[in-house]
Structure formats: structure tokens, C-alpha cells
Amino acid sequence: MDQLTDALAASLDLVAGRCGDPTALVYDRLFARQPGMRDLFVNDPAGAAQGHMLQMVLETLTNMADGAAWPANMIRAERINHDQIGVPFDVFATFFDVVHETFRDAGGEAWTAEMETAWTTVLARAAEA
């Protein structure tokens, strides 16, 4: 584990400790920014798909911090899958920023410069994918 991985993991722990499950916070912010996306989740009233998607995104970013190669492929594949279910490419990319901002706000004053650097570094890698 290097510093990037540690800082990202610490940020996830921080948010979990402060808010428990952050799923609702993330999707509230997403739907405020991309109101059209709410309708795509009509078949997910309990939020199971939302929770699973967020979990997958966090796992992908964590593995990206580790330098694994598969996350970039996974993002490329999901971009195409999501385009087919009605999530345009540019909207797809906004999810990463929404998660970052939600976590940073939830972390509050305990959010460190190392955590911020870890997120911006990993999101830059995701954007390259």
C-alpha cells in the first residue's frame, strides 16, 4: 500500500465513520445536478442498484489507486453499457465528481490535503480511461 492508496482508504473510512452508508447523499447530489437521471432508477425503489453501483465505483477507484490495469477497462465498458441505458458519456463522467464532492463535504474539517490529492489523482486517471 502506498500513500495514495492509504489516503484514499482513509477518506472512505472517514466518511463511513461520519455518515454510515453514503449512498443517499451521493444520489441526492447526482439527481440535483442531473435531474434527468432520476427516472433511470425507477426500478430500484429500495436503492439496491444505486448502492451496488456506488460500491463498484469505490472499488474501481481504490484499485486504480493501486495501479491496477483493469479499472480503466471496466470504466470503458461501463461507459458503453451506460450509454445504452440512457446515460450519455459526459453525464457518466460526472458521477466521479459527484462522489468526490459528496465525500469531501461529508469529511468536513477532517478531510486532509492528502485525501484531496488522492481523489484528484485517481479521478484524473479515471478521466484518462
Residues 2-61 that bind ligand HEM (CB under 6 A): 30, 34, 37, 40-41, 49, 52-53, 56-57, 60
Q: Select from 7-15, 16-24, 82-90, 110-118 the region that touches ligand HEM (CB under 6 A).
A: 82-90
User: What is the b/e burial string over 23-61, where b = at least 16 CB atoms within 10 angstroms of the residue's CB?
Assistant: bebbbebbeeebeebeeeeeeeeeeeebbebbeebbebb
Q: Please identify, using beta-carbon distances, which residue of 85 and 113 lies nearer to ligand HEM.
A: 85
User: What is the b/e burial string over 73-89, where b = at least 16 CB atoms within 10 angstroms of the residue's CB?
Assistant: ebbeebeeebeeeebee
**91 to each of 3, 30, 86, 113, how far by Cα in Å?**
30, 10, 10, 27
Q: Please identify, using beta-carbon distances, which residue of 3 and 81 lies nearer to ligand HEM.
A: 81
Determine if 65 is a binding residue for ligand HEM (CB under 6 A).
Answer: no
Q: Using CB under 6 A, which of 1, 42, 46, 85 touches ligand HEM?
A: 85
Footprint on this chain of ligand HEM (rule: CB under 6 A): 30, 34, 37, 40-41, 49, 52-53, 56-57, 60, 75, 78, 82, 85, 87, 91-92, 94-96
